[in-house]
């Protein structure tokens, strides 16, 4: 039977991809810091530095495509921000990837220190997957603890903590570079750093500065200022300031790496601990909504679909990946088939619904095309499920569902005796069509991956198909390019809590 053959092929490809799973995408000598779920807290969440973390699976094509750009970004951000990667195909990391709300591969998250130590702000990186864009976005997120000082405020600043060391960068720039911001983080609490523009002529005169950029170090009290004469490079600037005091620990990624490999054995032994700590933080959640764990669980994005056990982040056992749409049958993965129009409307076709993949089926559901399409979709979903990435719902729409006919007509899809695969997003009012030749696993998976990446042509979904609920207007310009779409809710979050922290 066709169906069994397709399934066998799908199973074989799954097996094959499993066998390479243990191998990470980034080698030992990569500039990308390979971390596990157990390292995350120590190396990323508790760090004073800003990080970008890629959640990937070694079998995923888009992850492989991203690799060169990500490596390049890591090199360019060396000493400025941490560039890390988590292999979500590794059994040990699956619960962690689930907790972080990873829905597809690759997912990139920027983690920057929050106002409270150890409670970072986590945001999805939604920008283009080129090194330059990644680097610029990460740099933008680096906190700025550099004091902007003018002629007017100079005396006041010099009077503060006058007995201990300070540093000043004279510059013609209005903005503070990522390098200087990072330097201020290296020496946070040790050497306050200021930036003064060259148009502040009084200050220039006081310190005898004639050209910019010039970095000077005030050792403390009225001791003579020392002018830096090296290159404006991070490492040598750190060395220069280190004549006063060594920087805070944990700065260079290299050190973090060393710490990691050194403690690998301990981590294995302590493999029980993540569940413990995640439970502890999950119970914190209501009390402290800005905690890292809370924002992580809240990032589970695509809304749960009714036919499934609700993936309520607070209730679920943190050790098992959260349930996805497919019923978990071992032998015959399948997708839910929804024959009630109201149910389909409430799942996927309303003004609030997120991305869905719909397989509009012909009357003859046992046709080769129909069975192949369903088994391909089911295998893809199952694979993501196994990788703890939570993919949007895949739903079969039988010809008996009246919505099938109206989709065919309004979207001008063509004959009712063929299978039609479409992706819909009610909230953003777009749909996309699969226009491949067959419904084999590889073609369909490429298409699904492209949707996750926000690639491919979007068409406007007619309002008439989004009946029922009130329409939420989403201006065209705001339509994001990528899936999963997370940003809105989470972006507001950091501002609303807590006293202002130091740093
Ligand atoms: C301390 O104050 C004096 C007088 O304003 C100033 O010249 C000196 O640079 C200050 N030192 C530091 C480390 O702030
Ligand atoms: C982080 O910054 C604080 C000062 O704000 C400093 O005391 C602490 O040592 C720093 N921690 C690390 C790991 O750099």
Tell me which residue range forms the domain holding 202.
147-241
d(CA 188, ligand 2 centre) in Å: 6
The pLDDT, as a whole number, for residue 304 is 29
Residues 134 and 162 grouped into a single domain:
no
**Domain endpoint, select from 140, 161, 196:** 140
- For residue 155, the tally of other CB atoms under 10 A from its CB is 12
Q: Does any ligand 1 atom lie closer than 6 A to the CB of residue 167?
A: no
Give pLDDT < 50 ranges for the chain: 1-5, 11-21, 251-330, 469-503
Distance of CA 284 to the CA centre of its chain: 23
The pLDDT, as a whole number, for residue 382 is 81
Residues 338 and 472 grouped into a single domain:
yes
The pLDDT, as a whole number, for residue 379 is 85
Asked whether residue 282 is domain-assigned, the answer is no
Pocket test of ligand 2: the residue of 115, 188, 246, 501 to mutate, having most ligand atoms within 8 Å of its CB, is: 188
The pLDDT, as a whole number, for residue 229 is 93
Residues 98 and 160 grouped into a single domain:
no
Asked whether residue 108 is domain-assigned, the answer is yes
The pLDDT, as a whole number, for residue 357 is 93
**Domain endpoint, select from 119, 140, 161:** 140
Asked whether residue 499 is domain-assigned, the answer is no
Residues 168 and 218 grouped into a single domain:
yes
Residues 395 and 379 grouped into a single domain:
yes
The pLDDT, as a whole number, for residue 465 is 87
State yes or no: cis peptide before 306, omega within 30 of 0.
no
* Ligand 1 atom 13: residue of nearest CA: 220
- For residue 457, the tally of other CB atoms under 10 A from its CB is 8
Asked whether residue 454 is domain-assigned, the answer is yes
Place of tokens 């591969």: 105
Residues 473 and 341 grouped into a single domain:
yes
Asked whether residue 216 is domain-assigned, the answer is yes
Asked whether residue 130 is domain-assigned, the answer is yes
Residues 88 and 32 grouped into a single domain:
yes
pLDDT tens digit sequence for 281-316: 322 322 222 222 222 322 222 322 233 333 333 333
Give the count of alpha carbons within 13 A of 200, CB side only: 26
Residues 178 and 114 grouped into a single domain:
no
CB 454 within 8 Å of CB 480? yes
Number of structural domains found in the chain:
3
The pLDDT, as a whole number, for residue 387 is 65
Residues 51 and 116 grouped into a single domain:
yes
Asked whether residue 415 is domain-assigned, the answer is yes
How far, in Å, CA of 398 to CA of 359, rounded?
A: 8
Residues 78 and 39 grouped into a single domain:
yes
The pLDDT, as a whole number, for residue 388 is 61
Give the count of alpha carbons within 13 A of 195, CB side only: 21
Residues 340 and 470 grouped into a single domain:
yes
What's the CATH number where 343 sits?
A: 3.40.30.10
**Domain endpoint, select from 216, 241, 266:** 241
Q: For residue 501, which ligand has an atom nearest its CA? A: 2
Crossing angle, helix 131-141 and helix 61-76, to 10 degrees?
Answer: 60
Distance of CA 162 to the CA centre of its chain: 42
The pTM of this model reads: 0.52
Pocket test of ligand 2: the residue of 43, 48, 119, 253 to mutate, having most ligand atoms within 8 Å of its CB, is: 48
Q: Does any ligand 2 atom lie closer than 6 A to the CB of residue 468?
A: no
How far, in Å, CA of 471 to CA of 29, rounded?
A: 51
Residues 177 and 116 grouped into a single domain:
no
- Of the candidates 49, 70, 52, 73, the residue with the CA atom closest to the CA atom of residue 252: 49
Q: For residue 226, which ligand has an atom nearest its CA? A: 1
């Amino acid at each position: 039977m066709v169906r069994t053959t397709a399934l066998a092929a799908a199973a074989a490809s799954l097996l094959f991809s499993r066998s390479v799973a243990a191998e990470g995408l980034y080698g030992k000598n990569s500039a990308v810091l390979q971390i596990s779920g157990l390292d995350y807290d120590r190396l990323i969440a508790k760090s004073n530095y800003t990080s970008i973390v890629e959640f990937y699976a070694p079998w995923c094509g888009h992850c492989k495509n991203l690799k060169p750009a990500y490596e390049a970004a890591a090199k360019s951000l060396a000493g400025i921000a941490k560039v890390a990667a988590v292999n979500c195909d590794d059994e040990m990391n699956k619960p962690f990837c689930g907790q972080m709300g990873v829905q597809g591969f690759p997912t990139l998250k920027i983690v920057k220190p929050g106002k409270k130590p150890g409670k970072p702000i986590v945001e999805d990186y939604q920008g283009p997957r080129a090194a330059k864009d990644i680097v610029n976005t990460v740099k933008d997120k680096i906190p700025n603890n550099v004091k902007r000082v003018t002629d007017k405020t100079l005396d006041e600043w010099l009077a503060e903590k006058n007995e201990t060391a300070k540093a000043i960068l004279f510059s013609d720039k209005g903005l503070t570079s990522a390098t200087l911001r990072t330097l201020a983080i290296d020496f946070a609490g040790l050497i306050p750093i200021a930036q003064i523009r060259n148009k502040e002529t009084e200050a220039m005169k006081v310190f005898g500065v004639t050209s910019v950029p010039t970095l000077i170090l005030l050792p403390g009290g009225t001791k003579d200022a020392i002018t830096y004469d090296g290159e404006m490079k991070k490492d040598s600037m750190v060395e220069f300031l280190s004549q006063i005091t060594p920087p805070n620990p944990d700065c260079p990624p290299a050190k973090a790496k060393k710490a990691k490999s050194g403690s690998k054995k301990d981590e294995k032994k302590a493999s029980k601990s993540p569940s413990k700590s995640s439970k502890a933080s999950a119970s914190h959640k209501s009390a402290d909504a800005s905690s890292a764990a809370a924002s992580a669980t809240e990032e589970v994005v695509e809304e749960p679909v009714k036919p499934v056990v609700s993936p309520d982040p607070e209730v679920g056992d943190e050790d098992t990946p959260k349930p996805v749409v497919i019923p978990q049958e071992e032998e015959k993965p399948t997708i839910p088939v929804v024959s009630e129009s109201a149910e389909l409307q409430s799942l996927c076709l309303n003004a609030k619904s997120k991305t869905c993949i719909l397989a509009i089926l012909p009357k003859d559901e046992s046709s080769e095309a129909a069975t192949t399409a369903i088994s391909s979709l089911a295998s893809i979903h199952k694979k993501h499920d196994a990788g703890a990435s939570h993919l949007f719902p895949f739903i079969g729409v039988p010809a008996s569902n009246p919505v099938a006919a109206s989709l065919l007509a309004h979207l001008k899809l063509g004959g009712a005796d063929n299978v039609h695969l479409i992706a819909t997003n009610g909230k953003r009012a777009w749909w996309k069509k699969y226009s491949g030749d067959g419904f084999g696993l590889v073609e369909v998976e490429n298409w699904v991956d492209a949707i996750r990446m926000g690639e491919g042509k979007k068409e406007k979904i007619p309002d008439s198909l989004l009946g029922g609920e009130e329409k939420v207007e989403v201006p065209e310009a705001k339509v994001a390019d990528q899936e999963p779409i997370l940003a809105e809710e989470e972006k507001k979050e950091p501002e609303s809590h807590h006293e202002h922290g130091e740093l």
